[in-house]
């Protein structure tokens, strides 16, 4: 009797352990998936700003209703601080519309579906997924920072993110580079523009605000050197 009772307790305990480990596994998987999506948003945005509008990004933004002609409205909003902008403006002039090859469009749609950014809705019409909407909002948020005139103030960001959060350290560096910040020395970056509200909220959500210090510098004895660095 005691043996049967012990076996029953052991089975119950083992079942509990297995369920606990499975939950931990899926929580970690979801967390990793979220982290990699954050990295993907950065790389997608960087390519768009540096290389210009391609078929994939055009489809993604075309599905987002801006309430205006897409080819004109979106290109007028792209920040001209990126090298590819002038070329893209010449290629996609406001008076013309871009034409893509049919096969290229099919491949791009397939890729966007696989990435979970678009899906087929009613009547097989394409629409953005929640991730797709998040991607569009992310890109608009980042270039809305860069399109504003520089107020001649230098932003200095110093961070000391602990080793246990090293993946967030790499993520934050990439965010700063995307916003045209330059490395001054280890974990110290300077830039022309303030970080976006969205990025600031991300720091709060990840409990990183106490590890990141943001300064606005109006005057410095190294002003010319710093401005020269930002122009590179």
CB atoms within 10 A of CB 26: 10
Q: Where in the chain is the domain with CATH 3.30.70?
A: 154-231
pLDDT at 174: 93
Q: Are 105 and 55 in contact (CB under 8 A)?
A: yes
Mean confidence (pLDDT) of the chain: 75
Q: Angle at Cα 127 formed by Cα 125 and Cα 133, nearest 5°?
A: 175
Cα 170 to Cα 43: distance, rounded to the nearest angstrom: 13
pLDDT at 74: 43
| DSSP 3-state of 118 | strand
The share of the chain scoring above pLDDT 70, in percent, equals 68
Q: Are 61 and 114 in contact (CB under 8 A)?
A: no
Residue whose entry in the numeric block shows the structure tokens 């049967």: 4
Per DSSP, 120 falls in state E
Structure tokens at 198: 């969205």
Q: Hey, which residues does 157 pair with through a beta bridge?
A: 189, 214
16 falls in which pLDDT band (50, 70, 90)? low
pLDDT at 148: 83
Q: Are 180 and 231 in contact (CB under 8 A)?
A: no
- Which has the minimum average pLDDT: 19-28, 100-109, 120-129? 19-28
| Residue 84 confidence (pLDDT) above 50 | no
Residue whose entry in the numeric block shows the structure tokens 């979801």: 30
| Residue 15 confidence (pLDDT) above 60 | yes
Structure tokens at 134: 């998040």
Question: How crowded is the C-beta side of 139, counted as CA atoms within 13 Å?
Answer: 26
| Residue 213 confidence (pLDDT) above 90 | yes
| Residue 82 confidence (pLDDT) above 60 | no
- With 0.75 as the threshold, say if the pTM is over it: no
pLDDT at 37: 84
More confident residue, 231 or 150: 150
157 falls in which pLDDT band (50, 70, 90)? very high
| Residue 142 confidence (pLDDT) above 80 | yes
Could you give the residue ranges of the DSSP H alpha helices within 52-96?
55-62, 70-77, 84-91
Residue 175's nearest CA partner among 158, 195, 161, 159 is 195
Q: Is 207 left (phi over 0), alpha (psi -120 to 50) or beta?
A: left
Tell me the per-residue pLDDT of 162-203, one tens digit each, with 9 for 90 and over.
888 888 888 999 999 999 999 988 889 999 999 988 899 989
pLDDT at 18: 67
Tell me the per-residue pLDDT of 43-74, one tens digit each, with 9 for 90 and over.
888 888 887 777 787 777 777 753 233 333 44
pLDDT at 94: 40
pLDDT at 81: 47
Q: Hey, which residues does 99 pair with through a beta bridge?
A: none
More confident residue, 39 or 15: 39
Query: Which CATH number is 154-231's, of 3.30.70, 2.60.120, 3.40.50, 1.10.8?
Result: 3.30.70
Q: Are 173 and 212 in contact (CB under 8 A)?
A: no
CB atoms within 10 A of CB 136: 18
Cα 123 to Cα 155: distance, rounded to the nearest angstrom: 49
More confident residue, 133 or 75: 133
pLDDT at 1: 52
Per DSSP, 232 falls in state -
């Amino acid at each position: 009797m005691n043996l049967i009772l012990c076996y029953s307790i052991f089975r119950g305990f083992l079942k509990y352990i297995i369920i606990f480990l499975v939950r931990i596994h899926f929580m970690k998987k979801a967390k990793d998936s979220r982290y990699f999506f954050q990295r993907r948003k950065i790389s997608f945005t960087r390519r768009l700003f540096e290389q210009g509008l391609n078929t994939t990004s055009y489809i993604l933004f075309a599905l987002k209703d801006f309430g205006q002609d897409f080819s004109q409205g979106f290109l007028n909003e792209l920040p001209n601080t990126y090298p590819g902008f002038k070329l893209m403006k010449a290629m996609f002039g406001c008076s013309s519309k871009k034409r893509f090859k049919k096969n290229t469009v099919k491949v791009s749609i397939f890729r966007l579906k696989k990435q979970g950014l678009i899906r087929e809705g009613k009547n097989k019409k394409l629409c953005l997924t929640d991730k797709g909407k998040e991607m569009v909002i992310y890109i608009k948020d980042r270039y809305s920072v860069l399109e504003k005139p520089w107020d001649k103030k230098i932003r200095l960001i110093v961070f000391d993110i602990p080793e246990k959060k090293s993946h967030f350290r790499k993520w934050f560096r990439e965010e700063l580079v995307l916003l045209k910040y330059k490395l001054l020395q280890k974990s110290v970056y300077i830039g022309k523009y303030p970080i976006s509200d969205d990025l600031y909220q991300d720091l709060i959500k990840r409990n990183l605000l106490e590890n990141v210090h943001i300064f606005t510098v109006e005057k410095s004895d190294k002003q010319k050197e710093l401005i020269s660095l930002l122009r590179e």
